[in-house]
Chains A and B, each alone.
Chain A
């Protein structure tokens, strides 16, 4: 085997007119991993996937698959297969004919075709559906046929373009688990495009978060969630509590930050990265890691910010508190509803409180642009 990487992408760019849909992206995708391209629509994730599949040619850069240069190779010569967004099942062919479609090009002996088709269909639990036509299947079944058709050719890499987008919420959750399980047992590299962060977190080993054609952050799934590198990633992962501060001192392993709204916070510098005194920085704390208290905890070394309670959103299992600090910044606090109902609410809308958090939960954000 030529390389530990299944797909290596270098400086890949695709321009449509003046717009770079994919802008100088470099990625290495490991053999056998479940890799997700995550981002909002128009971020370039699908274009990137289509370039790996060969349906879109790059303006610049290169793609290697399994060690071989595939940048300009036609789709029918690439060792990858794709599950299309709307499945792209051939409407004039039966399920079995769909699954067998590519076999004659991969020099599968005719005698083996039947068995290969049966195996692929049993893999996705669709045995017995061979004679049906796609329009006789439910959305979930079509999705599984598309999967079987792609897997039947035993590709090096499987590309999946938002394949769960058309399924309803409940089915989606089930299929996520099944897909992940399938990927583990087959050991094939999966490259999965989605705009749903929860989906990406549930299934992926690693995630690349994309924005405006660039990769903002590429990391283990949990790390992208817990330690977003940029404001965009933090926002996309549902953490929208941003704090503006200035570095007031670096002391051994600890960085001291003066909050714009007043007060001081200390962060372990391993997380903070190298910072100079006087530098303006921003950090983020996830809503569930924030706490509201009735009194100032800063004397105890806990970051505390005086805020006004602006609104309260009761959500059943939890409550969201919307608060504002002296500098008019808005924060969201997520609170589990653990207290007995009869005790009533801890705070009243319009009242005052202190916003507190554990300094270890503060995540320093990289300023501006995307990852190098």
Chain B
């Protein structure tokens, strides 16, 4: 039994190495002095410095932030509302709404991108940053709704009933009881939504107009041209940002409702 347990743990750690080693190598070589990147020639921050002077990258970071923040803000509001509809209210068309939220997540991204760019074409929408925002809202709403809905089902309905029982009207109950308790879920949903938005390549590549190049699009075009240490550096930064966001989101989602923790 012990031997088997040891084998299992060694095996599991090997898989973890497989999961993390490529990323670790990528990050490590972003600090490599050599331009010929497979040879280690010592530490440098040169590539990060050169990023700061790269206007294309800076512009794409700005675009990504605009798209990420705007689509997250919109998706968080819409997704939270629909999670409330699903979790706390009698809703005609509940099954339809669930499927509707489920589809953008599961339909191949390439199909969604193709559909949206065709749609914009038919309506003669000029492709811009805002066509990207709309596309991101479409797939972010689902993630927010799923996370908030999970938070809602994680606490007892009788808490809201207790508030009503003590004289609070439905809206007052929402502000004083429901909202504080689902806030960790909403924040977690928003962080995930922002992460997905800032990481998305496939859909964005279809709907981004001229001058609406986001960071992943920029990275993609750079590495299509050739692998350079700058790509490693910018990728490492994006990775670091998403890892931080995800860790916070995870913690929030795991905060137990009974403790009423807010952050």
Contacts and interface: CB of A to CB of B under 8 A. Distances in A.
A100 to B, nearest CB: 10
Contacts of A90: 159, 162-163, 177, 260
A181 interface: no
B18 to A, nearest CB: 40
Interface in B177-224: 177, 180-181
A53 B165 contact: yes
Contacts of A256: none
Given A55-B161, A91-B181, A76 B257 contact: no
A149 interface: yes
A74 B164 contact: yes
B162 A91 contact: no
B55 interface: no
B158 interface: yes
Contacts of A105: 166-169, 172
B166 A149 contact: yes
B54 to A, nearest CB: 46
Given A88-B156, A133-B259, A82 B167 contact: no
Interface of B: 155-156, 158-159, 161-169, 172, 176-177, 180-181, 257-260, 262
Interface residues on A, range: 20 to 34
Given A84-B158, A88-B156, A90-B177, A76 B259 contact: no
Contacts of B161: 53, 55, 75, 82, 84, 88
B168 A102 contact: yes
A102 B161 CA distance: 12
Contacts of A153: 166-167
B136 to A, nearest CB: 32
| From B155, B169, B260, residue with most partner A Cβ within 10 Å | B260
Interface in A89-103: 89-93, 101-102
A82 B159 CA distance: 12
Interface string A147-190: 00110010000000000000000000000000000000000000
Among B159, B162, B166, find the residue whose CB has the most chain A CB atoms closer than 10 A.
Answer: B166
Main secondary structure of the interface of B (DSSP, over half): helix
A275 interface: no
B64 to A, nearest CB: 35
B169 A76 contact: yes
Closest 7 CB pairs of A and B: A102-B166, A105-B167, A92-B260, A91-B260, A88-B162, A88-B158, A75-B164
A102 B177 CA distance: 12
A54 to B, nearest CB: 8
26 contacts: A53-B161, A55-B164, A55-B165, A74-B169, A76-B166, A76-B169, A81-B166, A84-B158, A84-B161, A86-B156, A86-B158, A90-B163, A90-B177, A90-B260, A91-B259, A92-B180, A92-B260, A92-B262, A93-B260, A101-B166, A101-B176, A105-B169, A133-B259, A135-B260, A153-B166, A153-B167
Contact of B167 (A92, A106, A133): A106
A269 interface: no
A142 B159 CA distance: 14
Contacts of A75: 161, 164-165
Contact of B165 (A76, A89, A134): A76
Most buried by A among B163, B164, B168: B164
